[in-house]
Amino acid sequence: MSESTNLNVAVVGAGPGGYAAAFLAADLGMSVTLIDPEVNPGGVCLYRGCIPSKALLHVAKLIEESEQAKNWGIEFAAPKIDLARLRSWKEGVIKKLTGGLGLLSKQRKVRYVQGRAAFENSTTLRVTKSDGSTESLSFDLIILATGSRPAIVPALKLETPRMMDSTGALNLEDIPGTLLVVGGGYIGLELGSVYAALGTSVTVVEMLPGLLPGADRDLVAPLHKRLEKLFDGILVNTTVASVKDEGSGIRATLKAQDGSTQEKVFDRVLVSVGRKPNSEIAGLEKTRVQVGDRGFIQVNKQLQTGDPAIFAIGDVVGEPMLAHKAMHEGRTAVEAIAGHKVAFEPNAIPAVVFTDPEVAWCGLTETQAQNENREVKVAKFPWAASGRATTLDRTEGLTKILFDPHTERVLGVGIVGVGAGEMIAEGVLAIEMAALARDVAMTIHPHPTLSETVMNAAEIFFGTATDIYRPKRG
Ligand SMILES: Cc1cc2nc3c(=O)[nH]c(=O)nc-3n(C[C@H](O)[C@H](O)[C@H](O)COP(=O)(O)OP(=O)(O)OC[C@H]3O[C@@H](n4cnc5c(N)ncnc54)[C@H](O)[C@@H]3O)c2cc1C
């Protein structure tokens, strides 16, 4: 293995992909410059994505759980919400984490340049700094990690603060009386849950027949049921045909699949219909980088673009647009640059929806197996039979594992229920380690935990799980 670490590398964009790449490159001895408009590394994930949304979802869960406590003989007074304090707590979380990354950057002697990069040629960047000055910098190699931004629907474009994207919603300017969430994907449902818990009457509109397109329906069903109680309305097979600013609110025309329409006025509208890759980097046409139809930069398994001097990672190179995928791609790109024999070809990338209950899956989904006519054996363990779920009064969950019926290998795992996001990592490990049903069933899980349900699902593959009763056939 040839090591080439004596390189001068630039990383454009300091989100989870960019900072992970920059830090590893520095650890491997490369001279690294990290360029981003923010004062510290963090990108969308830390400033206006994963982290602030999860901080607010934690609060939402607390409020919801305190409501549920009535069932257990404990009644709390209605929550008093100090919005300024909640906002500053969330900002504090962001500051702590991004400040920490800034420090790690300094400790590694990464040169952090606050600014926006444009290409002069394949190896030279012109950086416009936050103070307006520009600097031309040349490198041996450049890694693009410019991320993504909220997609805009032209019909839903209105110049009013009442119309928000995810960034606006996370700013938490107020607690609106009514909120229309356009798009029933994970961002819409997570942020909708936050506002609903804070007291807003939330309506979600989804164009497709169900929430969370891409997730198996049996995993979505318990979430849908709970959200029906939390939200004012969930309208599937429905689009927002138009929006009109009426000064005191936004009048939205909602169009159902059968063509019928209804009009409603909302205090605020959150448009969460997906994200677009930031591939329109100034001067990119001066390089040999290729951009595909959907705007993603095209890369090979080493994350190298059509231009040998330029690599690209994270949201800007494709789905799934998730922070952990970006970070792993960052590692792979840097290791490839260092001369290691690597490729980005994971068997499973977990997806987690941090609603309550959480929905998480990895590897093959049942829907995918059906669409591809793949023979699989699906073992499901309902949480009604879980001691831990019962102690939490949250038995609506489900853990399922997809196995190859011949080799008994774990191909996919799906979980819905509290803590599903933490537990899915076991599924990822099982898939990556090529675990068999027997391996999972024989792995002793601690009792009483929700993690036991993974072991129990594997037991069901063999027809018996002691915690449930299945009459013998014949
Ligand atoms: C509300 C919300 C919640 C989310 N929750 C989760 C979650 O729970 N889990 C999860 O895995 N993912 C989540 N995501 C997605 C996650 O944020 C992204 O997948 C992740 O941030 C992508 O990382 P990245 O490194 O590719 O780029 P980004 O984080 O998008 O960072 C790119 C950076 O590059 C900068 N940049 C762009 N162009 C230039 C340029 N020309 N010069 C210099 N800098 C430039 C940008 O300003 C930005 O700072 C969420 C996203 C949103 C919006």
- Atom 19 in ligand 1: which residue has the minimum CA distance? 322
Contact 19, 43 (CB under 8 A): yes
Asked if 447 is an active-site residue, the reply is yes
> What letter does residue 297 receive in the DSSP assignment?
B
Q: Kindly tell me if the per-residue pLDDT of 468 is higher than 80.
A: no
Its pTM stands at 0.96
Q: What is the mean pLDDT of residues 228-248?
A: 96
d(CA 22, CA 9): 8
Q: Per residue in 87-105, pLDDT tens?
A: 999 999 999 999 999 999 9
Across the beta sheet with 351-353, the strand order is: 351-353, 358-363, 410-417, 398-403, 377-382
- Atom 7 in ligand 1: which residue has the minimum CA distance? 50
Confidence band of 472 (pLDDT split at 50, 70, 90): low
Q: What is the mean pLDDT of residues 67-71?
A: 95
Contact 289, 304 (CB under 8 A): no
Q: Kindly tell me if the per-residue pLDDT of 464 is higher than 80.
A: no
Q: What is the mean pLDDT of residues 204-210?
A: 97
Q: What is the mean pLDDT of residues 30-56?
A: 98
Query: Using a 6 Å cutoff on CB, does residue 459 contact ligand 1?
Result: no
Parallel, antiparallel or unpaired: strands 268-271 and 111-121: unpaired
How many whole angstroms from 44 Cα to the centroid of ligand 1? 3
The pLDDT assigned to 473 comes to: 58
Query: Using a 6 Å cutoff on CB, does residue 239 contact ligand 1?
Result: no
Query: Using a 6 Å cutoff on CB, does residue 43 contact ligand 1?
Result: yes
Instruction: Give 117's contacts (C-beta < 8 A, 6+ positions apart).
Output: 10, 12, 35, 125, 126, 127, 281
How many whole angstroms from 149 Cα to the centroid of ligand 1? 8
Q: Is 221 exposed, middle or buried (0-12, 13-18, 19+ CB in 10 A)?
A: middle
Confidence band of 1 (pLDDT split at 50, 70, 90): very low
Q: What is the mean pLDDT of residues 8-29?
A: 98
Confidence band of 461 (pLDDT split at 50, 70, 90): very high
Q: Per residue in 248-301, pLDDT tens?
A: 999 999 999 999 999 999 999 999 999 999 999 999 999 999 999 999 999 999
Name residue 378's amino acid: V
d(CA 325, CA 236): 29
Query: Using a 6 Å cutoff on CB, does residue 22 contact ligand 1?
Result: no
The mean predicted confidence, pLDDT, of the chain is 96
The pLDDT assigned to 466 comes to: 74
Name residue 122's amino acid: S
Q: Kindly tell me if the per-residue pLDDT of 2 is higher than 60.
A: no
Q: Kindly tell me if the per-residue pLDDT of 474 is higher than 60.
A: no
3-state helix/strand/coil string of 169-217: HHHCCCCCCEEEEECCCHHHHHHHHHHHHHCCEEEEECCCCCCCCCCCH
Q: Kindly tell me if the per-residue pLDDT of 4 is higher than 70.
A: no
